[in-house]
Structure 1
Amino acid sequence: MNIIVRKKRTLRYKFFIGFIIVTVPLILFLFYNNYYAMNVVREQVSQSNSNLISTQAAKKDIAMGQTVNYLLRQVTNNPSYPNLLTLSSYPEESGDYFFAKQSLLTSFEQDQGAYKEVDTFFVYLDKPKRLITSQRTYWEIERYHEVLDAYMADAKSRKVHEWDILETDNVNYFVRIEQVPGSTAFVGALIKAEKLIDDLNTASSDSGLEQLLVSNAGVPLTATTLTNEDVANIEDSLKKPGSEAYRKFNRSSGLGYLAVSADFEQAPIHLVAIVPENNLLKQLFYFQWAIYLIPVLGLIVILFYSIFLKRTLLKPMQALMSGMRRIMHGDLSVRLKEGSSFEFAFLIETFNGMAGQISRLKIDVYEGMLKKQEAEFKHLQAQINPHFYLNSLNIIYSLSSLRKNDLVEQMTEHLADYFRFITRAHREFITLSEEIDHIANYLEIQKLRFPDKLAFEVDLPERYAGCSLPPLTIQPFIENAVIHGMPEGERLYVISITVKPLQDGSGDCEIVIADNGRGLSPEKLQQLQTGMAEEGEGKGAGGLGIWNVKRRLGMIYGNRADVRFSAGDAGGTVITIRLPIDSDNEGGNNDV
């Protein structure tokens, strides 16, 4: 939370927020203006297209109504009415049938010029089943017979007194039939669906407008580039309520289109016109580019202004703050270059002078601290040396009294090695193998003191034998384990020392000291872990030795070294020492 608060108080953040406050409303207004202009264009073009197809649909609707009136006249008092009765009353071979047919065809041929949308007028005789069309050529007669024979022969599916949709594989038609009263004859008209939109195709060929006839069931009746999914999307969009003259939909290709429609009164169909939305916006091309270009130009201006502001204000200020942070972290050698402006030049000159004064003062203080730490370090080393001399002498005396000369010799040998190590404890570093050998001598002495009650194990890989560490780093923990951890009774007390690499990839190692003894209370473990155990707490190495080790490791390695305390899974105590691998100090010092 503090980081967020600090960022909000920076000049960079405030300049950015100011830019947002000024430019965002302007950009939003420009985009709203553009959006409003595009909607106006959509509305105007869609209204124009709607008027166009409404006029076209009304025109074709009137033509279909006129065709219906013509058919009704044919089956009532029209001069053709007697001919229709003759056709249904006489056989095809009779002369009356022939003359009635020719008269009727002549009448159809003369009248069809007034009904340009009609492909053919026809007469169908239900008994016997005969079809007479107004076409003269063989191919036309065959084509319309193929279309009408099956439709007229099915008395259940054909519809009388209304326009019906006749769907074929290639072309769709509209058919209207009227029955001649008092006979089995029918008079009808056939209109190809494409003819109802031919005029509109001619008028809209250059505008990108595409139109099609669609049945009220949603089936396209004229040729179209739309898929069935596109047609379904159009029908769904047209059913949605809205005040606009158009409806928007997306084709399966992902392109946006606008659709308008007009219904027919004579037939269960409606005329649909669609136009690509991109075509409508061609008129706004330059205006759109201007709208998009203004924010870009604004960003470019802000970018150059930001660069200028960064060079003149933010960069010198950032350099000054960076220098202050480096001094705060202890780098007193930092010096800043003088700025180009008078104000920053004065600040930087003052800063450099203060840094120099602090550096000289800190050097003096640091030299005094080094002398104090060196004296403290020598004192801490001296505190570690005389721990168990009296106990060792008592053991030798006891063994001598019991005339166990072999054990006296062994004890003397281990004690001599122990003293030899102590004489070298003034060195700053020794090897890990030397520390382990010293611990082994100490434990061998303790085994003579506690026969059959103490054992120890050491696992020291060869790669870590020459690693450096301060003298008596591990030994105080072993001594503390022997003095305070040994269990009561006859149970064997085992102390193990394991050296292994850390798993964090740092290359350092850790020394794990574990025992199966009495262990420590949770409160004591918590005190040791958090560093709350005071100097001198406990007896022998129990408090002072551990405190000395942690103090020395902190003085030498800082936070690179670490000592952790925990309870063992099977009882006892586990101590883990993190030891940095310092190649400069490897090998220690072999002088005696």
Structure 2
Amino acid sequence: MKKKQISISAVFRILLVGSLLFLIVFSLITQRVANTALIRQAHNASQSVLSVYVREMDAQAMDIERYLYQTLSSNSDLERMRRGSDELGVITAKQNLAGLFQQFLTLYPVASGVALIEPGGDSTQQMSSSYQTNYSDVLAINDYVQEIILLNSYPKSSWFAAQLAGPGNLLMRVIPFGDFFCCVWITMESINQSLSDYDIGEGSTTLLCSGDGSVLNRTGFENPVDFEKTSQGQFVQINQQMSMGNFRISALLPQESITKDLHSIRIVLFVLILLLLLVFPISFLLVKRSVYKPITQLIGAMEQAARGDLKSRAEEAGWAEFQTVNRYFNHMMGEIRGAKIEAYEIKLREQRVKRHFLQSQIKSHFYLNCINIIYMLAQNKDTQSIELLCLNLARYFRYLSANSDGLVPLWNEIAQVENYMEIQKFRYPGKIDCQIAVDGEEDDCQVPALMLLTFVENAVRYGQRDGAVTQIEIQVKTEGENCCIYIRDNGSGFPGELLRALNEASDDIALEGLDGVGIKNVKSRLSLLYQGRANITFANDQGAVVCIRLPKEKEDDQ
């Protein structure tokens, strides 16, 4: 199937449309990436600021608890109030504790108030001191704390949120000291005032939320607040958990204020697209005139050469570069015309010489084996066997001289193998047997001359075992589009390392223990004659097995 070709003009049109699409996609991706980068940068910056605030609040809460523990654990005024026997002493103790609490609120301005509460006692006798909290709110806080103390329904080791009608939402910490309880609270006004000192982000809203998601320091939010719904498409949400209690600080940054600087990027990208729309048509016309036309003329000359017209020439005109290309093309065509026939003939001669050389190697190898057999028979003075052997050799020489082309019919090759086996039976009387089975339709299959004989020789030489008859089996059958020839013996088979070497694709492996030259020559001839479509595999199956696969029709190797 002929592959569809694309012209330069089509490439430029595709390039124009592709560039526009690229700029549009690039613009969208750039805006998206820039938007994401700005949001990530704002998120990280705000989270850093929020982390500082949370660490500061957690540290102050820990300092408050540590201060109260150290101050009230061994306070003599508290012990005097606990005994209550000396009325004047109790009044003095209350005054001392009031001054102590005022000092505490001065040291920790984030705390809005502190009170010392005796459960079940008269509220007018409770010592309390507050900052930014009126007296009625103090009484409400006092009543609330007495209630949760009696019900034992407050966290023993952390701050908690309290919602009261008068004071509103508070963060509270209740610390027991024997019969008395010290209560510290922080109002939402104090929380918001401390948050205002930290720049979370332009237009941001900072929320103090309890564990169930209820907003404590702001109004106008649904309780519990659905942060996913609130921040989706409108805000960037930053959360920071507080360790002083089950609270978290959540900041909502409006995306509009974060991405407002992207407007200038959109303008720049729009201008680039307009410039591209103006530049590309002009560039297309220039390229078509100065590049496309000369290339088209050169392609026309190449097409003539491809059709066999070696006299085709390209016009040496246009830019200097195209003149140079066309001049070298014309020179190359002249060289090709003069060298084509000579190169073709040299190639044929090389292939012919290589075939004859490979076949001569096989002939020499076989000559030595035959002479050795004649020598052994002469030593035994077996003239009748020598006569029969000489007759077989004469048939062999006649076969060899009549088949120098390299390919012979399979039946003819098998007849030569039978002739060779007759010779071997003289050498190993009663110790060798050969069975040949050929599918009738494979008789005319063409095979390289003396190919089978190389592997039969190896089977005779290396397939023998002491005291056993050497059985050699040759089977020819069809497998798909291939003619397959199997040569088996009942010997000990190929050693492991040798078997791996035989099946290697490389021809440089030394095949020790076998007729390595003959096998390499067969492989080389098959590669030359069939161009990689034939192969030989070696295996062990109760002896050595050689499988030769040949295509039924050989490709033209000219």
**TM-score bracket for the superposition, by shorter chain length:** 0.3 to 0.5
TM-score, normalising length: structure 2 = 0.44
